Amino acid sequence: MPKSILCVCLGNICRSPTAEAVFRQKLAIAGLPISVDSAGTSNAHAGEHPDARSQHHAKIRGYQLAKLTARQVIPADFLKFDLILAMDNDNLKNLKRMKSEIEQQFIAEDSDLGHSRLPKLAMLELLSHEDPNYCQKAVPDPYYGTADNFEAVLDQIESSVDAWIYSWKS
Ligand code: 4NP
């Protein structure tokens, strides 16, 4: 079981803040002591609160997103978090590239120092990794979509969060 999770999408205003809020609530109900945060691979919306449509649809299901603020993923996140969960394959690919660059940087510094001290970096997975209902499926980007798309994002995130929690409890 991880001690800390970072949920990641592109803008950190629709899918990943929703995943953060759903994880927080369901982990608290399950009694699992895991900290959760979210971030975006892009900085286009950094500093903004979640999209009003994400806030609205989440609130109907009892999740509060209003106080969250978007930020971009930074290299320190790979040291800080045990598990980074990407909402889709493009973001997973970008996270894998960032992790590999960080590893290469440590290896280069190690060879300068003449010893090895590669730290443990976050494991990377799709949010749907453990979810039999959405087997390895991406959470579709709802930004240019309809109310139904925002509801579908919530359906998928709730299902995949339940699947992770089930895997950690059993
Ligand atoms: P998110 O959604 O990655 O789930 O936060 C998006 C938000 C903004 C944009 C795309 C996706 N955008 O193109 O600005």
Query: pLDDT tens digits, the chain, 170 residues: what are they?
Result: 999 999 999 999 999 999 999 999 999 999 999 999 999 999 999 999 999 999 999 999 999 999 999 999 999 999 999 999 999 999 999 999 999 999 999 888 877 777 677 889 999 999 999 999 999 999 999 999 999 999 999 999 999 999 999 999 98
Which token pair is 24? 């927080």
Residue 153 CB less than 6 A away from ligand 1: no
pLDDT of residue 126: 98
Ligand 1 closest atom vs CA 9: 3
From 7, 8, 12, 14, give the residue whose CB has the most ligand 1 atoms within 8 Å, as the site to mutate. Answer: 14
Cα distances from 21 to residues 17, 49, 98, 104, in angstroms, run 6, 13, 25, 33
Residue 14 CB less than 6 A away from ligand 1: yes
Specify the 3-state DSSP secondary structure of 31: coil
Which DSSP category does 82 fall into? S
Residue 138 CB less than 6 A away from ligand 1: no
- CB-side neighbour CA atoms (13 Å) of 162: 9
Instruction: Say which residues have a Cβ less than 8 Å from residue 123's Cβ, sequence separation at least 6.
Output: 2, 82, 83, 84
Catalytic residues: 9, 15, 141
Global confidence as pTM = 0.96
User: How many secondary structure helices (H) and strands (E) does the chain include?
Assistant: 5, 4
